[in-house]
A and B are shown apart, each in its own frame.
Chain A
Amino acid sequence: MTYLVQTNRLTKVYGGKEVVSEVSMHVKKGEIYGFLGSNGAGKTTIMKLITNLIKPTSGHIEIFGETLTPKSYEVLKRIGTIIEYPIFYEKLTAQEILSLHCEYMGYYDKKEINQVLELVNLSHTEGKSVEDFSLGMKQRLGIARAIITKPELLILDEPINGLDPSGIKEIRDLLKMLCKAYGITIIISSHILGEMERIADTIGVIHNGRLISELSMDEVNLKHIDYIEMVVDDGKKAAFILENKLAIPNFKLVGESCIRIYETKLTQKVISKALIEHDVEIKEISMKTSSLEDYFLKLISGGEVNA
């Protein structure tokens, strides 16, 4: 498998503290890679490392098949970015900013400017300098600037921050379109889990500077059939059977009649058979899948214990 972006034991130390430790992440070509992590987990630092704004203390980064060095400037031509938050020369208008950006990037199709502004719904801002823009508008302009040169890789740090719900949907659709229609690979970070669930193909969870999980969204959905939930007529009796006859250590009685069984190797069939043999009536039995949120929170609290 070839990856568009790959890091190998990437570590960054600031003032004796590891803000990124041993991160080995893998981004496939043409996918949307979601970075998930709480504030200060190290998402932005990793993005800055990938774009060469800061240099790794150890480990290395491979991007478009080449190892990144402090002098890798050319590679930046193929990347569109929003890092941290969209930063502009505030006195300029949206048009001027995009026009300057194209010149610096060595991209001369100026017709694109108006098209892109339309795409992000900013075509009405002519003559207005960016310092008068709202956060949402700046965010849209940041996205416009990132995509105008049709880069092969988009790195977007919290791009939906400050957008209203309809704006979020527009941007989500736009990013999915870019990914599908142009084959642009996107690395996106967010702490809004629901959004990540909707947009990402692969999820990398960052916690305290470590990549504690990297799974495709399908795997996340598959892997986390977390527990079997049963509603029975006599909860206490069922609990007794589970513990003593079936030797299941990890279950929980919720209320009088609901039982949740975690981490069992026994199938539903075996469990229900045992219960029925002991005269426990099963009213309902189901597999419960936890959402990305549950998965994320579980990972994070697990990480905390290890740390």
Chain B
Amino acid sequence: MLNLMRLEMKKYKLGSYIKGAVLANIVIAVTFVAMLFISHAESELVFNNYTEALATIDAIIRAIFIIFAATLISKLIIVEFKSKTINTLFLYPINRKKLIAAKLVIVILFTFVSIIFSNVFVTAVFSVVTDYFVLLPGTLTAAIITQHASAVLMNAIATAGICLIPLYFGMKKYSVPATIISSILIVLVVSSNSGSFSLNDIIVIPITLAIIGVSIAYFSIRNIDKTDLK
């Protein structure tokens, strides 16, 4: 399985995605810091406290990596079917389920790890800058951080499942646009934020979506042995 994942990454030169993720991180951090400075200069607070700011950082990171995951799904799975390279893959003496599972695991792991790392990185930059320039009222206590960390972890796990939902729409007609657009719609649901309220805070919603995502992945490989490849 690990070997199959290694071959997939080699085949698609997925290193470029890691570079992309790093770049996304820098952009988020810079945007956030800039936003804080501007709001500070205008004396108009964007965030009332640290808890709110950290939750927003997490929501934005999850949004970005759900869309990232959709591009990965497109590249690793949808385009393989569309351009028929999947025929080449399925002519290898390897269980088809394993081949597809390797791809899905890459997507899941990439999403999960990216979300955790990005949260750590952006939060760190954000805290250091805000603390140094005193841009937010209140202090960043250890309690806030631990509480936030567990929320980030739970959200990252849920998002790793949620990010598979676009697979369903993409596989219908092997369409890349359908995959990406459905991921954007999902982002609108889970990362929307009206005031301090977000749909993602109703714990049932992310959990249900994650279960849907994992089921979609499961059903997409369940019958792959019997599927005809035209």
Contacts and interface: CB of A to CB of B under 8 A. Distances in A.
A110 to B, nearest CB: 14
A89 B91 CA distance: 14
A87 B11 contact: no
Q: From B3, B226, B230, name the one whose CB has the most chain A CB atoms within 10 angstroms.
A: B230
A53 B92 contact: no
A105 interface: yes
A89 B229 contact: no
B87 interface: yes
Interface string B67-88: 0000000000000000111011
Chain A contact residues: helix, strand, loop or mixed: loop
Contact of A87 (B3, B88, B94, B95): B88
A173 to B, nearest CB: 26
A177 interface: no
A75 B91 CA distance: 10
Interface in B195-230: 225-226, 228-230
A84 interface: yes
A84 B88 CA distance: 11
B228 A53 contact: yes
Contacts of B85: 87-89
Contacts, number: 59
A80 to B, nearest CB: 9
Interface residues of A, number: 27
B17 interface: no
Contacts of B89: 104
Interface residues of B, number: 24
Nearest to B4: A104
Given A53-B229, A55-B226, A87-B85, A92 B93 contact: no
B94 A104 contact: yes
Contacts of B10: 100
A92 B11 contact: yes
Contact of B91 (A71, A74, A81): A81
A92 B13 CA distance: 9
A100 B91 contact: no
A103 B7 contact: yes
Contact of B94 (A73, A79, A88, A100): A73
A84 B87 contact: yes
B99 to A, nearest CB: 9
A91 interface: yes
A48 B228 CA distance: 9
Contact of B11 (A75, A76, A100): A100
Interface string A87-99: 1110110000000
A67 to B, nearest CB: 16
Contacts of A51: 91
Contacts of A83: 87, 91
A255 interface: no
B90 interface: yes
A76 B11 CA distance: 21
B201 to A, nearest CB: 42
Contacts of A79: 91
A106 B93 contact: yes
Nearest to A71: B225
A76 B87 contact: no
A282 B11 CA distance: 73
B11 A105 contact: no
A91 B83 CA distance: 13
B225 A104 contact: no
B75 to A, nearest CB: 11
A48 B92 CA distance: 13
A77 interface: yes
26 contacts: A48-B229, A52-B90, A53-B228, A53-B229, A54-B229, A55-B228, A71-B95, A71-B225, A76-B91, A76-B92, A77-B93, A79-B91, A81-B91, A83-B87, A83-B91, A88-B85, A88-B88, A89-B11, A89-B85, A89-B88, A92-B11, A100-B7, A100-B10, A100-B11, A104-B92, A104-B94
